[in-house]
Amino acid sequence: MAENNKTVATVEHTPSGEHASGFPPFNSQTFPSQLIWLALSFILLYVLMSKLALPRIGSILEEREKHIEGDIAAADRLKKQSDEAIAAYEKALADARANAQAIAAETRSKQLAESEAMRKKLEDQLSARLAEAEKTIAKTKEAAMSNVRGIAVDTAKAIVERLIGTSPADAAVAGAVTDALKR
């Protein structure tokens, strides 16, 4: 058993007649057939690409370009509409502000006119009341003055009588009070 482990069998690979010359694409004997197949494959691929694949790709690219142009046109149209809507909104907002200011000015002028009319009415009422109060005060003053005159005559008569002991004449006391009231 030990000897079996020590012995190594070597197997040599001997190439057959076909492969004895090297890598097949580099074999000069197969160049013409390889060139023919290369030309046929190239022509076949060229025809397939030019007749089938490239038109489909071209139509897809044209369709995408049309779709993109349509999207850009729609975006431009929508942008134009939004710009118009913004302009209309700003105009409506400016009109609303102007209308609000006009309404405020109109309301302010109406309230000013109403308050002026009410003030004038109150002034007229106060003037009438004041005139009436002045008349009442004048009547009261006149009544008081007539009472004061009578009281003054009576008081002066009483004072003189007390001072001199005799009662003065009513006409003399009335004349003296009238002179004193004039001053």
pLDDT digits (tens, 9 = 90+) for 38-86: 999 999 999 999 999 889 999 999 999 999 999 999 999 999 999 999 9
Top mean pLDDT of 8-22, 80-94, 138-152 is at 80-94
Residue 106 has a pLDDT of: 93
On the 0-12 / 13-18 / 19+ scale of CB atoms within 10 A, 170 is: exposed
Of the pLDDT bands very low, low, confident and very high (cuts 50, 70, 90), residue 6 is low
Residue 112: give the domain boundaries. Answer: 31-182
Which tokens hold the place of 13?
């690979």
Let me know if residue 21 belongs to a domain. no
The one-letter code for the residue type at 102 is A
Higher pLDDT, 45 or 155: 45
* Residue 78 CA neighbour count, 13 Å, CB half: 6
- 172 touches 156 (CB < 8 A): no
Let me know if residue 126 belongs to a domain. yes
Which residue is listed with tokens 């071209």? 58
Q: Provide the number of structural domains found in the chain.
A: 1
Let me know if residue 62 belongs to a domain. yes
Q: What share of the chain is helix, strand, coil (3-state, %, to 5)?
A: 85, 0, 15
- In this prediction, residues 22-37 reach a mean pLDDT of 85
124 to each of 62, 116, 134, how far by Cα in Å?
Answer: 91, 12, 15
- 152 touches 181 (CB < 8 A): yes
| DSSP annotation of 167 | P
- 34 touches 25 (CB < 8 A): yes
Let me know if residue 81 belongs to a domain. yes
Report the Cα–Cα distance between both ends of the chain, in Å, rounded. 174
Which residue is listed with tokens 């691929």? 45
Proportion of the chain above pLDDT 90, given as a percent: 50
Give the residue from 141, 174, 171 showing the smallest Cα distance to 155: 174
Let me know if residue 61 belongs to a domain. yes
- 120 touches 144 (CB < 8 A): no
| Pairwise CA distance, residues 173 & 157, whole Å | 6
Window from 39-43, 144-148, 161-165 with minimum mean pLDDT? 144-148
Let me know if residue 152 belongs to a domain. yes
Let me know if residue 102 belongs to a domain. yes
CA angle (149, 154, 159) in 5-degree steps: 120
Let me know if residue 25 belongs to a domain. no
